[in-house]
Amino acid sequence: MNAGPLQRLMRNDLRAVAVFMVFMFVLIPGLELQDTETPGAPGSLTPPTGGHNQTQTLKTGEVLSRSGYTNEGQSTEEKFGLGYPLVTNVKAELKWTDDYGSNDVFSIELKREGQSVDKQQGTTGDLTVQATAKAGENLAGNFTVIITCVSAPGVVGPSPINRDNGNSWDMKVTATYSEEVGP
């Protein structure tokens, strides 16, 4: 029996519906969900991947801690890499105490893959720089923190003597990242 035009049209429609259903059940579950309300905040994401439910728990932990001394006009670089499945925030904090007054000027710069992300300068003894991921972005990769002693004017006494050639400092880097937990 030959199928009439109406029957052929219905078969084509059924094929289109079947293709659509395959798309819905095979491709859609592989998409990841992103926390768009508070990126980088501790919490829990539950993306369906490959048809299995896995939980990505965001954690914040110390990645790098260094103490050092940098002379006036010099810089110190600290390099590190982050290879977690999802990095949402990287923060570097620099602290120092001026030996002669409160006028030493430091700067701290955070670079990701060689590109400057954030830079701060001041005399406060406490500077912070950070990178925060945009929706759908992963900050995993190679980072560099550059600490510069811009100036250390430690001139004291009636006949000026420069007793301040630089300053010691403490630097800490933390990252917010995910760890996948199985079904």
Residue from 91, 10, 55 nearest 178 by CA? 55
Q: Name the residue among 93, 92, 101, 80 with its Cα closest to residue 167.
A: 101
Q: What is the pLDDT of residues 83-97, one digit of tens each?
A: 888 999 999 999 998
Nearest residue to 139 (alpha-carbon basis) of 91, 96, 101: 91
Which residues, in sequence order, are CB contacts of 79 under 8 Å at separation 6+?
142, 143, 144
Q: Which CATH number fits domain 57-181: 3.60.40.10, 2.60.120.380, 3.10.20.90, 3.40.220.10?
A: 2.60.120.380
User: Which tens digits make up the pLDDT trace of 1-28?
Assistant: 566 655 654 555 555 544 444 444 434 3
State the pLDDT at residue 6. 54
Partners of 124 in the beta sheet?
Answer: none
Are 171 and 94 contacting, i.e. CB atoms less than 8 angstroms apart? yes
Helix (H/G/I), strand (E/B), else coil: 38: coil
Is the sign of the CA dihedral 65, 81, 56, 118 positive or negative?
positive
- Provide mean pLDDT across the span 130-158: 88
Query: Where are the chain's structural domains?
Result: 57-181
pTM metric for this prediction? 0.65
